Structures are given as C-alpha cells and as structure tokens.
C-alpha cells in the first residue's frame, strides 16, 4: 500500500476514532500504525512492513493468524443460525456443544460454563455470581472481594475495580465499594533484600491478614491471575501459590482464578490453575477461547457453586450475546484445532522449553536486569544497573524499546520498563530464533539511546 493510504487511515483515526487505552493528543501528533493483514505469527502494516507478532494480538491469537477452518466455522454457523439468545428457556447447539467441550478440558469438578462477550464481562459476572452465591447460602453480608494491586481483570466498572491498576482507579472513583486489594507477588520490583521464597510467603500472608481485618464473615472471594499478564508478566515465587492455597483452605471464601490469559495453553497446560495445581471455584475465560477471531468470554463454575445457584431462583444476569452462536462455533473449532494438533502438548514439551532457554540468553544483555518466563510468556526488566536493580530515572525507556521493535519488525509490549511477550502458541523454533535476534537488536538500539 502506498504512503498516502497510510495517511488516509491516520486521518480517519484522528478525525473519527477514540481508541482504547490511548493518550489521544499524543497519538494524533504521531499517527497511528495501521495493521492490514496477518498470517501465522506475522502481521503486515499499511506500509507493507512484515512484523513478527510476539504478543499474539493481545495475548489471544493462540492458534496463529489465517486459520481457514475458523473462517469456515463462522460462515457455516452464520448461514445456519446467525443469532439466537439463551434467555427465556431457549438454547442452541453451538453454545451447548461448546459448554461440554470446555467442561472436558476444565479441572475436575468444574462442569458448567456461563457465557459472556469478553473477559471484562466474565469478571462482572463473577462479582455478581459470588455475591448471589453467598446470599443464597443465607450470608448476604459476605460481599467483599479481595484482589491484588497491579492485577488486571478488565475495564468495565467491576473489572477495573477488581483489578489493581492505580491509573485506572484514578479516573472516576474506582474501586467501587466492597473491593479490597493486597500486594502483588512481584519479587523483582518489590522484593527488596528478601529472597524470592521468603518474599512469596510474606506477600501471600497478606491474604490471611486481609481476611482477618475485614472479617471472614464479610469476605466473598479472592480473585487473582495465576500469572499476572497486563501487570507485566509477573510470575510469583514458588512459595506463593502453595501458601495461598493453605490460607484459602482455612477460610470459607471462594477463589476466582482469572484464566483470561493463562487459559487455553499459554503455560503449556490447558489452564494456569493446572500449571500451579490451584483449585478455583470460578474461572473467568476469554482471549484464547476463540484465539481472538471473534469476541467471547465466559466463567467456568465449580459443581458445588452450581448446586447452590440451582437453589437460588432466577439469576438476574446475562448478556444479549451470551454464548453467541457464531462465536461459540468459532470457539469450538478453535478448541478442536488446539486438541487435534496437540498444540498445548507441543508448547509444554518443545516450544516453551526452547523459548525459555533462548530467552534466558537475553539476561546477559547490559540493559536486562532479569529475564523470566513460563510457557510462552516472557518478560525482560530493563534497568540502569543490573547489580543494584536500579531503574531508569527518566520515564519511557520501555516505550523507546517498543518503538525500536516496531521499526525492526517486531511487536513486544512495554509495561513501564518491563518488556513482555506472549507469542502465538504455534510459533516454531526458527521463528523463536528470529524473535530472539530481533529482541537483541532492539535492546542494543535502546542501550545506545539510554546508556550512551
Ligand atoms: C484481557 C484480560 C481481561 C479482560 O478481557 P477483555 O476481553 O479485554 O474484556 C480480564 N482478565 C485478564 C487476566 C485479562 O488479561
């Protein structure tokens, strides 16, 4: 495409579009990047540049771009039944077949799914569902949900409130009442002089303290991502989840594992809860469920919770597009591909070990304070001083690195000065080699800018 076409789209963006999570003035001064097509693990922009998408879109394109079967599944379903709702005692085959397929993959004892249109709606659903659950059990005062600072659970009112993003809370008085936060298990950033394992225990113990402070009779649930994604691919120390499990076992509260990123193979297991041996009561899902080809989310619910809901009369909650037949057909086909091509198994046995070995090589770079990862998730901490973990005083080093990535045909995301990746699960070893080469090039370019 010609340069003038890029300018055309950029003008439309400036004149008519309000994009999500964007500083409008800054974007309009610079011009937005226009992505026009994609195939496998690659994107193409309107200038014809090929870009290795190390973020799988937004953590979601698990089977990679350009899968004809997903297109066909959508077209077939649109011809057969493009829409019907699941309200008022009706249903349709795609939603029911998908619920069964998800139940087959889910941890034992989690056999039901409530469908939503997105991950945020899934988290709105869990907030409604856990409060409804306790009310049915005769404890309507058990309402408070404990989340974590720097956790991410979406951008609706409930999602933003359950999440712990202070910048989001700052715009419009969030969190809403009845939501509390404890610290995150971010050893590299907040662990100080402590050993990681000691830090993991100390941070987990905040859950115990918080439950005591609020009173167990007022706490409905604890919500957490198995690995924090948007917060910067924060992988808890090994001591963290076992300690949290001990605490949860002592208290009568529900546990919500937000699987929107970790679900559907990201860690090399079907769910992050499988990876860490967690036993959640509710699991919000989205993203990898459809590989992002069409919006869909849901909540997988433990049998015991379902038994209680069955006794509660009508649950006054749902969406026009809950279980949308076209989305369900695409999700079903996406799960078929993941299973039949044994993509999750390959991530665990081959791709993840290979990526993580090569990712660790980057730890030697002068700019990198820590390289960490699990499955096909990775993070690099960019620091001024590797030994002392001293950060850069000037803001925007991560964004600068991100700009170098785009210029060199690579999408990496910057969370502050943490560079993160989450590539499609179908990425091959040669593509991983290309990814590592490109990351190194971009780190070198960033180092020249900031270390001199
Ligand atoms: C992306 C995300 C969400 C929100 O999903 P949307 O589809 O953007 O609403 C919720 N939880 C986690 C862990 C996420 O990464």
N- to C-terminal Cα separation, the chain: 37
Please state, as a whole number, how many other Cβ atoms lie within 10 Å of the Cβ of residue 371.
Answer: 20
pLDDT for position 1: 47
Is the model's pTM score more than 0.85? yes
**How does residue 451 score in pLDDT terms, banded at 50, 70 and 90?**
confident
**How does residue 116 score in pLDDT terms, banded at 50, 70 and 90?**
very high
| Core vs surface per residue 242-275: b (16+ CB within 10 A) or e | ebbbebbeeeebbbbbbbbbbbbbbbbbbbbbbb
Q: How far is the CA of 4 from the centre of ligand 1 (A)?
A: 35
Choosing from 157, 261, 282, 422 the residue with most ligand 1 atoms within 8 A of its CB, the one to mutate for a pocket test is 261
Q: Percentage of residues in the chain with pLDDT exceeding 70?
A: 99
Q: Is the distance from CB of 129 to CB of 301 less than 8 angstroms?
A: yes
Q: How far is the CA of 377 from the centre of ligand 1 (A)?
A: 16
pLDDT for position 452: 74
Q: Is the distance from CB of 261 to CB of 59 less than 8 angstroms?
A: yes
Whether ligand 1 lies within 6 angstroms of the CB of 61 is answered as no
Whether the predicted pLDDT of 238 surpasses 60:
yes
Tens digit of each residue's pLDDT (9 = 90 or more) over 394-410:
999 999 999 999 999 99
pLDDT for position 2: 57
Q: Give the closest residue to 356 by CA, choosing from 380, 378, 330.
A: 378
Whether the predicted pLDDT of 185 surpasses 50:
yes
- Max intra-chain CA distance, the chain: 67
| Core vs surface per residue 93-103: b (16+ CB within 10 A) or e | ebbeebbebbe
- The number of residues in the chain equals 452
Tens digit of each residue's pLDDT (9 = 90 or more) over 100-111:
999 999 999 999
């Amino acid at each position: 495409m010609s340069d003038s076409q890029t300018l055309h789209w950029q003008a439309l963006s400036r004149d008519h579009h309000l994009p999500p999570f964007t500083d409008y003035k800054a974007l309009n001064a610079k011009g937005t990047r226009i992505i026009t097509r994609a195939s496998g693990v690659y994107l193409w922009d309107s200038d014809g540049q090929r870009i290795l998408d190390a973020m799988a879109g937004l953590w979601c394109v698990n089977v990679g771009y350009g899968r004809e079967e997903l297109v066909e599944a959508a077209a077939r379903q649109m011809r057969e039944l493009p829409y019907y709702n699941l309200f008022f005692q009706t249903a349709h085959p795609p939603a029911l077949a998908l619920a069964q397929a998800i139940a087959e993959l889910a941890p034992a004892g989690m056999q039901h799914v409530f469908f939503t249109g997105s991950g945020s709606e899934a988290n709105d659903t869990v907030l409604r569902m856990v409060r409804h659950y306790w009310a049915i059990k005769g404890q309507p005062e058990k309402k408070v949900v404990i989340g974590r600072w720097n956790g991410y659970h979406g951008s609706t009112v409930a999602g933003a409130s359950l999440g712990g993003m202070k910048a989001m809370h700052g715009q419009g008085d969030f969190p809403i009442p009845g939501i509390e936060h404890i610290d995150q298990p971010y050893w590299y950033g907040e662990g100080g002089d402590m050993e990681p394992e000691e830090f993991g225990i100390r941070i987990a113990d905040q859950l115990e303290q918080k439950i005591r402070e609020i009173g167990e009779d007022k706490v409905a649930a604890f919500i957490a991502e198995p690995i924090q994604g948007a917060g910067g691919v924060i992988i808890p120390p090994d001591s963290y989840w076992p300690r949290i499990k001990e605490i949860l076992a002592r208290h009568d509260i529900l546990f919500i594992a937000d699987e929107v990123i970790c679900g559907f193979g990201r860690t090399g297991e079907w769910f992050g809860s499988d990876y860490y041996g967690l036993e959640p009561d509710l699991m919000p899902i989205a993203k990898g469920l459809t590989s992002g080809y069409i919006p869909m989310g849901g909540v997988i619910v433990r049998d015991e919770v379902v038994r209680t809901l069955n006794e509660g009369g009508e649950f006054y909650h749902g969406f026009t597009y809950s279980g949308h037949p076209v989305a369900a057909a695409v999700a079903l086909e996406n799960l078929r591909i993941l299973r039949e091509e044994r993509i999750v198994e390959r991530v665990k046995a081959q791709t993840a070990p290979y990526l993580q070995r090569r990712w660790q090589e980057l730890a030697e770079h002068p700019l990198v304070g820590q390289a960490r990862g699990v499955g096909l998730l990775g993070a690099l901490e960019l620091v001024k001083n590797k030994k002392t973990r001293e950060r850069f005083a000037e803001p925007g080093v991560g964004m600068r690195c991100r700009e170098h990535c785009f210029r060199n045909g690579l999408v990496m995301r910057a969370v502050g000065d943490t560079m993160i990746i989450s590539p499609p699960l179908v990425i091959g070893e040669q593509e991983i080699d290309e990814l590592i080469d490109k990351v190194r090039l971009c780190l070198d370019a960033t180092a020249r800018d900031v270390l001199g």
